[in-house]
Structure 1
Amino acid sequence: MITINKLTKSYKKFKAVDDISLTAKPGEITILLGPNGAGKSTTIKSIAGLLNFDGEITICGHRNKTVEAKKIFGYIPETPALYDFLTPWEHAQFIAKAYKLEDTWKQKIKDIFERLEIYDRKDKYVREMSKGMTQKLSIAVALLIDPQAALFDEPLVGLDPKAINEVLKIFEELKSQGKSVLVSTHIIDTINEVWDRAYIMDKGKIICDITREQLEGRDLKAMFFELTEGDAEECRQ
């Protein structure tokens, strides 16, 4: 479970995130939506432990910056944080050593690489790989540790349709395993069939928290634009 309680983050006099709370529950796919400047990126970086903030963030009951939390947390950033002069296989070796994984990691990463169609590039330098390939590598190494909670920041950007379909299947599999999945995205149409709970942010606040059941056949994309463009006064649940 990923839990945010009263998160506030300011940059000098500008309050990027204003006292928000949200929960990504086990066995659910939770999505975070918002226009540019809504505070999504600040929220994501706070969860990942990359920023100082006021409030509390926990990963499966552990404060997000603790070693206990990091052991069970997978983070896929919007821009892959990889080493140009390491190969995909060397990235996997690095993660396996850092997390003290058992020898079975080699077969596991081979399976993930093959599934995401990057195994044939496992010995290429990252600097020689496309945006889509590095995105898939970022997802692969995050999955290698078998995280109990996973945070995906714009994971579908740069992927071809086949890869997008595979990543959506991965979301569903993590959900079926009882994992917590939080996805920050602006591609509502693509993820529309798999989400369970949606949080909509605007101007640093959560302006809507709604489940698929509460949506009752209404269109999430239409609701998003109504709320963020000021045509609706409230999130109707």
Structure 2
Amino acid sequence: MGRAAMIIGMITVENLTKRYGDYTAVDDVSFVCRPGQVTGFLGPNGAGKSTTMRIIAGLTPETSGTALVGGRRYRDIPNPATQVGVLLDASAQHAGRTGREILRLSAMTMGLPMRRVDEALAMVSLTDEESGRRVRNYSLGMRQRLGIANALLGDPQMLILDEPANGLDPAGIHWMRTLLRDYADRGGTVLLSSHLLHEIEIVADDIVVIGHGRIVAQGTKQELLAGAGTRVISTNDEALGQALYEAGLHAAPAADGGFTVDAAPVDVGAVALERRIQLIELRPGDGARLEEMFLQLTQRTQRDQRPAPDALSFGGQS
């Protein structure tokens, strides 16, 4: 893929800042979302996630810095929904219209053939009966599916989704994960905000962690979880613990046996092999480690904050 094609499909945020009086909601934020990748956007409530995404989507003006989609500001893109699909609040849909009516109006606005409505409904598994209901009668999970259908309607190259798994049951979360992974594997760019850390770990390629409006960590999933270490259990944990200590590796006993070691699995395995200690389990740190990393990185920003004014008017999440 050439440089021009990469820029077309990229979401680029540079030195983005948003202030409301003396309150700074977003503070000098920079990151890039690339084609073919899912970028997970993590942070506690009030961290600035939704404000950042609203700026990218042209709904909130920045104080300084830039947020570009495909090399342009959202408001400068002709027929933007055909380039970038956005879902920021699934409840912000006309309750008196049916799901199909909402998609038909969107298709008309974008100048799309009506067959795209049926295709989008099929993509999110909303049946004819469900799409014929008034949105006021939808569950939150159904509203999420309709919102994702609307985001996909214009066959965009980029997706910006804020907490799209809210209201979905486990089967729905698995469906969404598969849909987004397939979309990225076909070259699409995904910026995904979620508080479901395990889901982010499964689906994301890159991770951006924000706290109190500032980026506290970013990189590939592998880079950020490298510190999550290794989970190891042996037939002789006492001997293994001593061997790891003598090898200079920090090992913390785990509640269910074995250790969590601040080292790569290959290094832990080499120590056990040298001492001829039989291992029962040897693997990278599990999903709980992402939560552990998240809490460690954001512990100084885990506090109640007054939400930005635009967040109050748009569902209250940030």
Is TM-score (shorter-chain normalized) higher than 0.5? yes
Q: 1:102 aligns with which of 105, 110, 113?
A: 113
Q: Which amino acid aligns with 2:297?
A: L
Q: 1:106 to 1:78 in 2, by over 3 A?
A: closer
User: C-alpha separation between the residues in 1 aligned to 2:129 and 2:115?
Assistant: 20
Q: 1:90 aligns with which of 82, 95, 101?
A: 101
User: C-alpha separation between the residues in 2 aligned to 1:70 and 1:13?
Assistant: 34
Judge conservation of contact 1:118–1:137 (CA < 8 Å) in 2: no
User: 1:234 — aligned with what?
Assistant: none
Q: 1:216 aligns with which of 200, 208, 226?
A: 226
User: C-alpha separation between the residues in 1 aligned to 2:116 and 2:192?
Assistant: 25
User: C-alpha separation between the residues in 2 aligned to 1:85 and 1:64?
Assistant: 29
Consecutive unaligned residues of structure 2, counting only runs of 5 or more, are 1-9, 229-288, 302-318
User: 1:201 — aligned with what?
Assistant: 210
Q: 1:178 to 1:106 in 2, by over 3 A?
A: same
Judge conservation of contact 1:132–1:158 (CA < 8 Å) in 2: yes
- SS of the equivalent of 2:46 reads coil
Q: Which amino acid aligns with 2:295?
A: F
Runs of 4+ with deviation above 6 angstroms: none
1:230: how far off? 4.0
User: C-alpha separation between the residues in 2 aligned to 1:96 and 1:79?
Assistant: 18
Coordinate RMSD, CA, aligned: 1.7
1:79: how far off? 3.8
Judge conservation of contact 1:87–1:123 (CA < 8 Å) in 2: yes
Q: Which amino acid aligns with 1:168?
A: R
1:3: how far off? 0.8
Q: 1:178 aligns with which of 171, 183, 187?
A: 187
- Return 8-17 or 221-230, whichever deviates more: 221-230
Q: Does 1:67 align with 2:77?
A: yes
User: C-alpha separation between the residues in 2 aligned to 1:129 and 1:205?
Assistant: 36
Judge conservation of contact 2:29–2:214 (CA < 8 Å) in 1: yes
User: 2:298 — aligned with what?
Assistant: 228
> Superposed, which structure 2 residues align to 1:70-81 within 5 Å?
70-81=81-92
Q: 1:74 to 1:191 in 2, by over 3 A?
A: same
Q: Which amino acid aligns with 2:153?
A: L
Once the two structures are superposed, residues 65-112 of structure 1 have per-residue CA deviations (whole angstroms, 9 ceiling, x without a partner) of 223344311111134321111111111111111111134314413422
Q: Which amino acid aligns with 2:15?
A: K
Q: Percent identity?
A: 35
- SS of the equivalent of 1:225 reads helix
Judge conservation of contact 1:64–1:70 (CA < 8 Å) in 2: no
Q: Which amino acid aligns with 2:108?
A: K
User: 2:37 — aligned with what?
Assistant: 28
User: C-alpha separation between the residues in 2 aligned to 1:111 and 1:192?
Assistant: 27
User: C-alpha separation between the residues in 2 aligned to 1:90 and 1:155?
Assistant: 21
Consecutive unaligned residues of structure 1, counting only runs of 5 or more, are 232-237
Once the two structures are superposed, residues 103-126 of structure 1 have per-residue CA deviations (whole angstroms, 9 ceiling, x without a partner) of 43144134225x2x4432111111
1:152: how far off? 0.8
- Return 94-103 or 178-187, whichever deviates more: 94-103
Q: Which amino acid aligns with 2:176?
A: V
Q: 1:220 to 1:74 in 2, by over 3 A?
A: same
User: C-alpha separation between the residues in 2 aligned to 1:12 and 1:79?
Assistant: 29
1:142: how far off? 1.1
Q: Does 1:112 align with 2:138?
A: no
> Superposed, which structure 2 residues align to 1:163-174 within 5 Å?
163-174=172-183
Once the two structures are superposed, residues 127-180 of structure 1 have per-residue CA deviations (whole angstroms, 9 ceiling, x without a partner) of 111111111111111111111110110011111111111110111011111111
User: C-alpha separation between the residues in 2 aligned to 1:78 and 1:187?
Assistant: 16
User: C-alpha separation between the residues in 1 aligned to 2:167 and 2:75?
Assistant: 29
User: C-alpha separation between the residues in 1 aligned to 2:170 and 2:129?
Assistant: 19
- SS of the equivalent of 1:65 reads helix
